Structure 1
Amino acid sequence: MGILSKILEVKRREVQEARRREPLSRLQRRAQEAPPARPFVERLSAPGPAGANVIAEIKRASPSKGTIRSHLDPPSHAWAYQRAGAAALSVLTDRSFFQGSEQDLQSARTAVSLPVLRKDFVIDEYQIYEARAMGADAVLLIVRAVSPSFLRDALSLCRELGLGALVEVHDERELETALACDAPLVGVNNRDLATFRTDIQTSIRLKTLLPAHTPLVAESGIGSRQDVETLLEAGIFNFLVGTSLVRAPDPERALQSLLGTAPTRQGI
């Protein structure tokens, strides 16, 4: 919980500063005037053409990995992901710990037709209106970062605004909370926040506790086609993949390899 606690402490200050810069009432008007959101949860409700859906991530850095790709160009990466068959994008907007920004999300979304998840640490309704105003199609809600009552209210607000929501859990207790709050889409983070080690067996274990009608997204620790196939065998067909794609010299080819659709050399 060390790094998460630090992030949330900084995030609370950032939200206070944002409220001073732009009152909630003005932000709400901008959110209501934003174009309709692209369908996010719907895109992940069934396997895609390759038998799997990948939410391909755009991020410059992370607390566990440091700088991943400092000169990342969000539109170029977004376009490469779409060409490769991504189902959706995830864009980091946290500046302090991930070097992300609202501009990264907007420029990536403008470049493609895919739905875009705002990946940040949402702890206040202000950030949900902010996400819709900046053009996001869905938000990440982390069970460990908020109270059950806030999670329930946040999901209600997302429905009101037409935003999708990915509710992230790390263990059985958090999954129970997510389901009690009617999470439409559950993400299982395979990273242990205490040790930063990843284990895709976490997703496989929690999948057995999930109702059949609730889709699951496996997050973190997915870096090879073998990882994807192991999870597919467990009935998991949605994957959020970041570091391995961002670091790849050819992100389009890297995503095709994960999906099992990379062309043979003869076909290149």
Structure 2
Amino acid sequence: METDFLSRILRKKQEEVDAARKRVPEAVLRERAEGRKDRRPFLERLASPGPWGVNVIAEIKRASPSKGPLRPNLDPAALARSYQRGGAAALSVLTDGPHFRGSLDDLKAARSAVGLPVLRKDFMVSTYQIYEAGAWGADAVLLIVRALDDGFLRDALALCRDTGLDALVEVHAEDELDRAVEAGARLIGINNRDLKTFETNLETSLRLARRLGEGRIPVAESGIRDRSDVERLLKGGVRNFLVGETLVRASDPEACLRALVWGRRDDSAPSEPPR
């Protein structure tokens, strides 16, 4: 594996976009994206704490580049319904094919099965993908600061606003956070995983969340395994969590999600939110 795995992914992604553009012109996707009437508020859902003080973006992910397949015979619609019953605030769907075995069909199936807002999680390198996300039913897209230059980041955020999509802007270090804020990002995903080494440290979310000013909403990403991790981040002021592998690998994803949100695995919520 290359030292910088992200660079290899981005090169492949640009090739995919170039090929897709030949099959379906960007103008066609733009018309579909701008004509949608079924937006679901993603950022708004995360702007305030959930009923029990926790918002989980539950992820649908077939595979990991480092660990291979995560859940045999994954059914996106069934898993989405399980997440909704378990108390998810929103969904994230991996649509990258070569490295995560996902697809836009997974996004469409998951969104059609539930009433939750849905994030398209992919490696965005072109305006084409933003229109594509809107055309296929996404309510938000992921923008990885490390993968983008400042000009495209600003343009992508503006395009998201124009097309009614929210944007989760992902950072891993202080300089990336500064760039995200300068570009106007409101919803800041703090990736605890270093995309160069794939090492994970929850302290990354705690450290960077302290730097966020008023009006910025942090989302902790990666490395969240159990309720103790959630509580550690809650104490640091982080109330939004994107959780993938922990849920996808669980024998009972619904119960696993309840344990993260409520601190218990049964279907009865605690009598009072955590203080």
What TM-score, normalized by structure 1, do the two folds share? 0.97
Contact 1:184 1:214 survives alignment (8 Å): yes
* Deviation sequence 1:109-130 (CA, Å, 0-9, x none): 0000000000000010000000
Q: Does 1:217 align with 2:196?
A: no
Q: Is the 8 A contact 1:61 1:67 kept in 2?
A: yes
Instruction: Give the 3-state SS of the residue equivalent to 2:98 in structure 1.
Output: coil
| Partner residue of 1:22 out of 9, 24, 27 | 24
Amino acid paired to 2:117: P
Q: SS at 1:166's partner residue?
A: strand
- Kindly indicate whether the alpha-carbon contact (under 8 Å) linking 1:92 and 1:118 is maintained by their aligned counterparts in 2: yes
Distance 2:74 2:215 in 1: 37
State whether structure 2 residue 48 is matched by structure 1 residue 46: yes
Identical counterparts, % of pairs: 58
Amino acid at match of 1:213: G
Q: Per the alignment, in what secondary structure is the counterpart of residue 194 of structure 2?
A: coil
Q: 1:259 to 1:132 in 2, by over 3 A?
A: same
Distance 1:15-1:37 versus aligned 2 partners, 3 A rule:
same
Q: Which amino acid aligns with 1:76?
A: A
Give 1:103 deviation, angstroms. Answer: 0.6
Written as runs of structure 1 = structure 2, the 5 A alignment for 1:112-191 is: 112-191=114-193
CA contact (8 A) 1:94 1:101 kept: yes
* Shift of residue 88, structure 1, vs aligned partner: 0.1
Q: What is the rounded CA distance, in whole Å, between the counterparts of 2:265 and 2:86 in structure 1?
A: 11
1:212 deviation in Å? 2.5
- Aligned-residue offset at 1:65: 2.0
Kindly indicate whether residue 20 of structure 2 is the aligned counterpart of residue 4 of structure 1: no
Scaled by the length of structure 2, the TM-score of the pair is 0.94
Match of 2:233 in 1: 231
Alpha-carbon shift at residue 263 of structure 1 (Å):
5.0
Partner of 1:98: 100
Q: Secondary structure at the match of 2:59?
A: strand
**1 CA distance for matches of 2:249 and 2:267?**
22
Instruction: Give the drift of 1:261.
Output: 4.8
Change (3 A) 1:77 1:266: closer
Q: Is the 8 A contact 2:60 2:93 kept in 1?
A: yes
- Which of 34, 37, 40 does residue 39 from structure 2 map onto? 37
2:259 is paired with a residue of what secondary structure?
Answer: helix
State the distance in 1 between where 2:69 and 2:154 align: 34
Give the corresponding residue for 2:195. Answer: 193
Question: Partner letter of residue 208 of structure 1?
Answer: R
Q: Which residue of 2 aligns with 1:257?
A: 259
Kept after mapping to 2: 8 A contact 1:61/1:70: no
* Distance apart, 1:266 and its partner CA: 11
Counterpart contact for 1:69–1:247, Cα < 8 Å: yes
After TM superposition, give the deviation of residue 260 of structure 1 in Å: 2.1
SS of structure 2 residue aligned to 1:43: helix
Residue 92 of structure 2 contacts residue 120 of structure 2 at CA under 8 Å; is this kept in 1?
Answer: yes
Alpha-carbon distance in 2 for matches of 1:64, 1:129: 29
AA matched with 1:150:
F
Residues 58 and 74 of structure 1 are in contact (CA less than 8 Å); yes or no, is this contact kept in structure 2? yes
Q: C-alpha deviations, 1:58-106, integer Å up to 9, x for none? A: 0000112211113100011100100111000000000010000011000
1:206 to 2:208 alignment: yes
Query: Residue 186 of structure 2 contacts residue 215 of structure 2 at CA under 8 Å; is this kept in 1?
Result: no
Maintained 8 Å contact 1:50/1:261: no
Deviates more, 1:170-179 or 1:209-218: 209-218
**Are the equivalent residues in 1 in contact too, given 2:258–2:266 (CA < 8 A)?**
no
Task: Tell me if structure 1 keeps the 8 A contact 2:92–2:118.
Answer: yes
Q: Is the 8 A contact 2:227 2:263 kept in 1?
A: no
CA drift of 1:34 comes to: 2.3
Q: Which runs of 5+ in 2 are unaligned?
A: 270-275
